[in-house]
């Protein structure tokens, strides 16, 4: 029989992935390739590049030890074709292969490139998720609204996670109301585990620094699991130390304490080093053993079984044009301080600087700080998506696009969110300590020292009134606006206009 190639992509590093399961060590050759096209199609953070390349190299070594024939292409290899399709074609020619077998990529861009390739690339369904694309489409068929909560409950029933027969464990499906507490500084909070930079990791870090010197972010604080063994250690650490307090404080933000009780497992999940099932089952086991409260276990499992599965379903259901939608017709350029951190707004400065240093910010920092500001300011959602896709360690288009175009920017017109996720500075003040050290006054509603979130919030509502005043969840907000004195409304709108003019002029905000 002719040789066949098994292509493993950089986010498919699972030893039991569909393509490897279908392979034959006696005849098949596994190919992995670091290619510049994938490294540069988005403005990737240096740590994202280093993590991906290091994890790929480690995975290739593990496959070789398991008896697979592996052909690995490093980014700087002189024969590197520069693209995945080019590398597959080159390796097929060398090995005399007539077919490439791979797991379907998590981006429409690559799926379409593989379909148009000048060689046969067979794409197998990615069965590492609880819910297949077909299963999600069946669930969505005929529904007027694709609400995550209803999908999540169905996934709970199908998997049996945190269930007692046909009832949710603890009697509630959702413990959100118990999980919105602000955090306090805690010197005894368990620190994240550290991972040694061995020779392989150090070589990759040096290569990334040399090949991508102008890319966003730094590598000094690189500390991500690059192998399954390290990812399992990170999982065990989270379950043992941080899951117990994850629930109550999952939305909290503290300046100088970016990690809090978060798991930091999303990059390992999205690379394939951990499976969603084993992570959820570990959290459930800790809950059933009485080691963590149900509100923490449920809140964590919902992030994976509910939200992660849901956004993937939406991405593939909505099709390749999803990322280009702009329902609110926002066209302002992304402010430069999203890259530099040079802003007088303490919350945005802290989030951007943390993102620069760690390639990480948790979901509320992304949604209610950077995302909230971009939406209120009317930033082009395509530019916002490019930023999120580039700067975060766990960002892949299937998960990034629905979170940004849908949940954060309402660019999809309401497919994901029933209303825009916007707030004034009050929410950030409630859930963080950022405002205490800010140059702006979160209590002031207008004027030069007023928190920009306050006036921009009302400016957004005013300019989009025709679209949103009929929304049941927003009627009271508009009634509040209408009850304000005309001169008060005028002052807020003028303050917002001044901020927007500064943004357009590239001035410091």
Element housing 63 (H / E): helix 46-65
From CA 273, how far away is CA 239, in angstroms rounded?
17
In this structure, how many other beta carbons lie within 10 angstroms of the beta carbon of residue 442?
21
pTM above 0.85, yes or no: yes
- Please give the pLDDT value at position 63: 98
From CA 350, how far away is CA 361, in angstroms rounded?
10
Helix axes 309-318, 148-159, angle to 10 degrees: 120
With CA atoms as reference, report the closest residue to 362 among 333, 387, 335, 392: 392
Answer yes or no: are the C-beta atoms of 375 and 420 closer than 8 Å. Answer: yes
Going by their DSSP bridges, the two strands 167-168 and 163-164 should be labelled as antiparallel
Q: Which residues of 324-341 are buried (b: 16+ CB within 10 A; e: fewer)?
A: ebbebebeeebbebbbeb
Q: What CATH fold (topology level) applies to the domain 4-124?
A: Rossmann fold (3.40.50)
β-sheet bridge partners, residue 6: 30, 101
- Please give the pLDDT value at position 2: 66
| Sole residue written with tokens 């509320």 | 364
Domain boundaries, the chain: 4-124, 133-189+224-318, 337-505
Which class does domain 337-505 fall in?
mainly alpha
- Please give the pLDDT value at position 437: 87
- Please give the pLDDT value at position 327: 97
CATH (residue range 133-189+224-318): 1.25.40.80
CA angle 291, 295, 299 (to 5 degrees): 110
pLDDT-flagged residues of the chain (< 70): 1-2
From CA 502, how far away is CA 280, in angstroms rounded?
46
- Please give the pLDDT value at position 183: 87
Tens digit of pLDDT for each residue in 72-92?
A: 999 999 999 999 999 999 999
User: How many residues are listed for the chain in this entry?
Assistant: 509
The answer for residues whose C-beta is within 8 angstroms of residue 340's C-beta and 6 or more apart is 352
Burial class (CB in 10 A: 0-12, 13-18, 19+), 359: buried
Q: Map residue 21 onto helix, strand or coil.
A: helix
For the chain, give percent helix, strand, coil, nearest 5.
Answer: 50, 5, 40
DSSP conformation class of 186: -
Burial class (CB in 10 A: 0-12, 13-18, 19+), 240: middle
Write the DSSP string, 385-413.
HHHHHHH-TT--HHHHHIIIIIIIT-TTS
- Please give the pLDDT value at position 189: 87
């Amino acid at each position: 029989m002719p040789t066949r190639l098994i292509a493993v992509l950089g986010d498919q590093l699972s030893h039991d992935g569909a393509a490897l399961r279908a392979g034959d060590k006696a005849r098949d050759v596994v190919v992995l390739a670091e290619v510049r096209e994938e490294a540069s199609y988005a403005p990737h953070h240096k740590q994202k590049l280093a993590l991906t390349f290091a994890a790929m190299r480690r995975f290739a070594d593990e496959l070789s030890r398991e008896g697979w024939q592996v052909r690995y292409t490093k980014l700087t290899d002189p024969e590197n074709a520069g693209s995945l399709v080019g590398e597959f074609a080159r390796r097929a020619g060398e090995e005399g292969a007539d077919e490439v077998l791979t797991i379907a990529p998590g981006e429409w861009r690559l799926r379409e490139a593989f379909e148009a390739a000048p060689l046969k690339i067979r794409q197998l369904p990615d069965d590492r998720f609880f819910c297949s694309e077909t299963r999600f489409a069946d669930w969505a068929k005929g529904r007027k609204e694709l609400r995550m909560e209803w999908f999540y409950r169905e996934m709970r029933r199908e998997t049996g996670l945190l269930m007692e027969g046909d009832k949710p464990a603890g009697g509630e499906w959702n413990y959100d109301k118990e999980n919105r507490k602000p955090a306090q500084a805690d010197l005894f909070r368990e620190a994240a585990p550290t991972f040694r930079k061995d020779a392989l990791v150090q070589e990759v870090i040096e290569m990334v620094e040399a090949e991508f010197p102008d890319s966003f972010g730094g590598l000094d604080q690189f500390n991500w699991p690059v192998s399954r063994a390290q990812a399992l250690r990170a999982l065990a650490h989270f379950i043992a130390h941080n899951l117990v307090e994850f629930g109550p404080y999952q939305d909290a933000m503290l300046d100088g304490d970016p990690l809090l009780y978060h798991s930091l497992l999303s990059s390992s999940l999205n690379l394939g080093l951990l499976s969603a099932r084993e992570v959820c089952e570990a959290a459930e086991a800790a809950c059933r053993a009485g080691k963590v409260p149900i509100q923490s276990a449920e809140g964590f499992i919902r992030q994976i079984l509910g939200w992660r599965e849901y956004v993937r379903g939406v991405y593939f259901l909505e099709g390749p044009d999803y990322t280009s939608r702009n329902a609110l017709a926002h066209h302002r350029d992304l402010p430069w301080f999203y890259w530099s951190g040079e802003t007088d707004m303490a919350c945005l400065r802290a989030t951007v600087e943390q993102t620069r240093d760690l390639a990480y910010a948790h979901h509320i920092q992304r949604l209610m700080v950077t995302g909230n500001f971009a939406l209120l300011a009317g930033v082009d959602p395509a530019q916002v998506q490019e930023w999120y896709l580039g700067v975060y360690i766990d960002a892949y288009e299937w998960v990034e696009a629905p979170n940004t175009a849908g949940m954060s920017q309402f660019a999809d017109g309401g497919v994901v969110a029933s209303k825009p996720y916007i707030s004034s500075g009050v929410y950030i003040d409630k859930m963080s300590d950022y405002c205490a050290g800010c140059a702006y006054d979160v209590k002031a509603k207008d004027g030069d020292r007023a928190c920009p979130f306050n006036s921009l919030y009302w400016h957004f509502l005013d300019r989009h009134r025709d679209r949103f005043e009929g929304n049941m969840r927003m009627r009271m907000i508009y009634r509040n606006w209408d009850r304000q004195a005309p001169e008060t409304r005028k002052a807020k709108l003028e303050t917002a206009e001044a901020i927007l003019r500064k943004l357009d002029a590239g001035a410091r905000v």
